[in-house]
Structure 1
Amino acid sequence: MDITFEKVGYTYQKGTPFQNKALYDIDLHIKEGSFTALVGHTGSGKSTVLQHLNALMKPSEGTVTIGDRVITSQSNNKNLKGIRKKVGIVFQFPESQLFEETVAKDIAFGPKNFGATEEEGIVLAKRMLPIVGLDESYMERSPFDLSGGQMRRVAIAGVLAMEPEVLVLDEPTAGLDPQGRKEMMDMFYRLYRTQGLTIILVTHQMDDVANYADHMVVLEKGTVIKEGAPKDVFKDAAWLESKQLGVPATVSFGSLLSQKTGLVFNGLPLTTADLADEIAKALKQQPNDSKAGDAE
């Protein structure tokens, strides 16, 4: 299921003295089966775009097409519920939204809200727990007796239980340590690869963009200012820094290493594996250059 924005604008409190234009003239196409990262500094419009992805907000101008549904400012709210089953959003700190007395009931809440029976909800809960790295022993536990990381996994299981086609992640690793962040992102990447989910990642973590995304969209002041494959966008580190954005640690380290040692890399090292490969290639090339110089 593709999602397309055409000339989308959004104004908060439109028609009042407090109106504020948050988005303007956004053209954006998110392909089915892609892993897209939305990046931008605070105030760039990421959160507002996110809420248009499953029609929590309707555009003030333009159209948002979600699958075969076209959303405009005039769309009837009563007919949009089905979209929210197809496009699941994991909001920042999703564990704060847990409220049921057991893990099973919390995971089953969404499906039941869309017509699943009690039994069907429990079956879905059992199926989702191992996907998020928890086992069936958690079913009857209170979510409030779990660790913060476990609570987050339960909340994510509740979104996955809706069996969405698109999964939107709003800073999903906020507050986690590096190991926890890697485990969480690896889990989402497995879902992308094995379940065929379309993933949309809203993040400040450039390393996550480099390691997992295949497409990158940069927002500034409510509109798209650049998009493309991460390896292409990250080539212009100076431009990204001018937009108050960083580059992956491997790009920074590779650039510094090249300056300090004179090693020449053939490609941009986005990931740790890329960097190791480029260093190995550069080191292999060095002796050949030296021998050629001696022969002369």
Structure 2
Amino acid sequence: MEISFKHVNFDYQAGTPFEQRALFDVDFTIPNHSYTAIIGHTGSGKSTILQHLNALLKPTEGEVWIGSEKIDDTTANKSLKPIRKKVGIVFQFPESQLFEETVIKDIAFGPQNFGVSEKDALEIARQTAAMVGLDENVLEKSPFDLSGGQMRRVAIAGVLAMQPEVLVLDEPTAGLDPQGRIDMMEMFYRLYREKGMSIILVTHNMDDVCDYAEHVIVVEKGRIAKTGSPKELFKDMNWMLDKQLGRSTANQFFSKLVEKGLKTDANPLTTEELTSFIIAKYQEANRC
């Protein structure tokens, strides 16, 4: 399902003396079945854009198209429920939103809220729990008796149980250890590759951007500063550094090699690319 912003402006507390514009003429398209990263500083407008993705906020001016549904300032709230089923949002620290007495009931809550029978909702919950790597033996436990990583998987399963077409992830690995981060990101990538789900990742982590995203949207002061593939954006490394957006771990390591005198036009962004580059250089040196 394609999502398009068409000249969107958004004001907090519009029409009051405290009115403050957060988005300025935002215009972009997220293609169907794509993996898109939205990056930018804290306060750049990422979270405001995120809340427009399933109409938690509506534009003050302009239009947001979610599939064939148009959202503008005149859209009635009662018409938004089907849209929110199609676009699921996993907020930062989603485990803080758990509330049911058992894991399976928490996961099943969303489908039941949309009219699915209890029996069918529980079956969906079991399937979704397996999808995110939760063992059958935790389903009847309280979610609050689980580890932090397991609690986050329960919360994510609750969003996936709604069977959305688009999954929006707001800093999904915040607070996780390195292995937990990798496991979580690999799980989302499998959903993208195997389930045909579109993924929209809001993050400060350039490793995740370079490892997974196909398309990147850079937000700055409520405006779209640049869009493109990770390769296209990081090709202009001076621009990225000037915007203080950082670089991936692999690219930081590579820059140290360049500083030590390595002559090359290459610019590896991922660990895989860096490894391939080093192996190729090693083989070239041995042939000489």
* TM-score of Structure 1 vs Structure 2, range by shorter chain: over 0.9
Instruction: Give the aligned partner of residue 52 of structure 1.
Output: 52
Superposition deviation, residue 92 in structure 1: 0.3
Instruction: Give the aligned partner of residue 285 of structure 1.
Output: 284
Instruction: Give the aligned partner of residue 275 of structure 1.
Output: 274
What amino acid is the match of 2:260? K
Q: Aligned equivalents of 1:193 and 1:139: distance in 2?
A: 26
Secondary structure of the residue aligned to 2:168 is: strand
Q: Aligned equivalents of 1:216 and 1:267: distance in 2?
A: 20
State the Cα RMSD in Å. Answer: 1.1
Q: Aligned equivalents of 2:262 and 2:140: distance in 1?
A: 60
Q: Aligned equivalents of 1:161 and 1:275: distance in 2?
A: 38
Q: Is the 8 A contact 1:263 1:283 kept in 2?
A: no
What amino acid is the match of 1:234? F
Any stretches of 5+ residues in structure 1 without a counterpart? 292-296
Instruction: Give the aligned partner of residue 209 of structure 2.
Output: 209
Secondary structure of the residue aligned to 2:259 is: helix
Q: Is the 8 A contact 1:94 1:156 kept in 2?
A: yes
What amino acid is the match of 1:237? M
1:11 is the counterpart of 2:11: yes
Deviations 1:62-108 (A, max 9, x none): 00000000111111110010000000000000000000001111000
Q: Is the 8 A contact 1:37 1:216 kept in 2?
A: yes
Instruction: Give the aligned partner of residue 156 of structure 1.
Output: 156
1:184-223 → structure 2 map (5 Å cutoff)? 184-223=184-223
Deviations 1:87-141 (A, max 9, x none): 0000000000000001111000000010001001110111011111111111111
Instruction: Give the aligned partner of residue 133 of structure 2.
Output: 133
Q: Aligned equivalents of 1:262 and 1:271: distance in 2?
A: 18
- Aligned residue pair count: 288
Deviations 1:228-249 (A, max 9, x none): 0001101222211211210111
Q: Aligned equivalents of 2:67 and 2:194: distance in 1?
A: 21
Secondary structure of the residue aligned to 1:234 is: helix
The worse-fitting range, judged by mean Cα deviation, of 49-58 and 245-254 is: 245-254
Q: Aligned equivalents of 1:67 and 1:81: distance in 2?
A: 14
1:172-191 → structure 2 map (5 Å cutoff)? 172-191=172-191
What amino acid is the match of 1:176? L
Deviations 1:125-163 (A, max 9, x none): 110111111111111110111111110000000000000
Q: Aligned equivalents of 1:276 and 1:62: distance in 2?
A: 46
Deviations 1:144-193 (A, max 9, x none): 11111110000000000000000000000000011110000000001100
What amino acid is the match of 2:148? G
Instruction: Give the aligned partner of residue 169 of structure 2.
Output: 169
What amino acid is the match of 2:53? L
Secondary structure of the residue aligned to 2:116 is: coil
Secondary structure of the residue aligned to 1:199 is: strand
Q: Normalized against structure 2, the TM-score is what?
A: 0.97
What amino acid is the match of 1:33? H
1:105 is the counterpart of 2:105: yes
Q: Aligned equivalents of 1:79 and 1:158: distance in 2?
A: 22
1:33 is the counterpart of 2:17: no
Superposition deviation, residue 261 in structure 1: 4.3
Question: Which structure has the larger Rg over C-alpha atoms?
Answer: 1
Secondary structure of the residue aligned to 1:23 is: strand
Secondary structure of the residue aligned to 1:41 is: coil
Q: Normalized against structure 1, the TM-score is what?
A: 0.95
Instruction: Give the aligned partner of residue 230 of structure 1.
Output: 230
Q: Is the 8 A contact 1:97 1:155 kept in 2?
A: yes
Q: Aligned equivalents of 2:252 and 2:237: distance in 1?
A: 9
Q: Aligned equivalents of 2:266 and 2:102: distance in 1?
A: 50
Instruction: Give the aligned partner of residue 294 of structure 1.
Output: none
Percent of aligned pairs sharing the same letter: 60
1:79 is the counterpart of 2:79: yes
Q: Aligned equivalents of 2:282 and 2:101: distance in 1?
A: 59
